[in-house]
Structure 1
Amino acid sequence: MVHVLGSRVLLSPTDPQRSRDFYGHALGLAVYREFGTGDERGTVYFLGGGFLELSGRSDTPSSPAVRLWLQVPDVQAAHDELLERGVEVLRAPRKEPWGLIEMWIADPDGVRIAVVEVPEDHPLRHRP
């Protein structure tokens, strides 16, 4: 078994500054570290128990198969805050048949992001 010490999701945006503005300002993710200089610099954000790294530049957006899942304590509060920051909400919060409360947004390159609240009575909060 590989002994994993840390992990990151890596995205190469089509416009690095636009994506830094989205993740750093619109979503309000805190910066873990930056490397390089200028518009092409890499930025790593805290992402709960992991990290999100924006580095390099791509001529094409990420595959639609790439999605992010962000758990928040209150999805309605996140919805209201993101709307105030000008983030387009693709789907407003609603309780899914599996019991999670989910909202969907997308980054500037179309990477879909689920913003999820796990209700207190949901099995994900409790061990069997």
Structure 2
Amino acid sequence: MEVLKSRLIVRPRDVDATTAFYRDTLGLAVEREFPGGTVFFLGHGSLEVSGRGDAGSSPDLVLWLQVRDLAGTLAGLKARGLEPVRDAQREPWGLDEAWIADPDGTRIVLVEVPEGHPIRVDTR
């Protein structure tokens, strides 16, 4: 199988609140909009917020977002009124991680790959 593009689709209980969270609070760039939905850029993939879900978040679903500057990202989110579920800390596997959640409670892991970590490919 050859994958040309990937997209995670979220069916929130409140599409307007969840769209505003990803657009305004997280500041994700909009890839495209269509009646009933918005697609956001997520690095090499996309996140679509559309439709309506009734079940809410699953603890089995985690959105992993790598950022260049975790401390700066958290400071910006806190300035917009978002309190992390868990502040940044160095994990046993060597990544710096903080946890936040969207309006439905979907856990979002913000990750910074420290210098010298084997998965770091961006040397800036």
Q: What stretches of structure 1 move > 2 A for 4+ residues in a row?
A: none
Matched, 1:110 2:105: yes
Q: Distance in 1 between matches of 2:117 and 2:82?
A: 28
- CA–CA separation in structure 1 for the residues paired with 2:78 and 2:57: 24
Unaligned runs of 5+ in 1: none
Question: What is the CA–CA distance in structure 1 between the aligned matches of 2:79 and 2:105, rounded to whole Å?
Answer: 20
CA shift digits 1:36-85 (9 cap, x unpaired): 1xxxx110000011000011001120321111000001100011000001
- Asked if 1:49 corresponds to 2:44, the answer is yes
Q: Which residue matches 2:33?
A: 34
Specify the code of the residue in structure 1 equivalent to 2:44.
G
Please, what TM-score do these two structures have when normalized by structure 2? 0.94
Equivalent residue letter for 1:113:
I
Amino acid at match of 1:11: V
The aligned length equals: 121
Contact 1:64 1:112 in 2 (8 A): yes
The one of 62, 68, 77 aligned to 1:73: 68
Taking the aligned partners of 2:87 and 2:114, their CA distance within structure 1 comes to 17
> For the pair shown, which has the larger CA radius of gyration, 1 or 2?
1
CA distance in 2 between counterparts of 1:125 and 1:108 reads 31
Question: CA offset at residue 97 of structure 1?
Answer: 1.3
Instruction: Look up the match of 1:16.
Output: 15
Are 1:11 and 1:62, in contact at CA under 8 Å, matched by a contact in 2? no
Distance 1:52 1:77 in 2: 23
Give the letter aligned to residue 75 of structure 1: L
More helix by percentage? 1
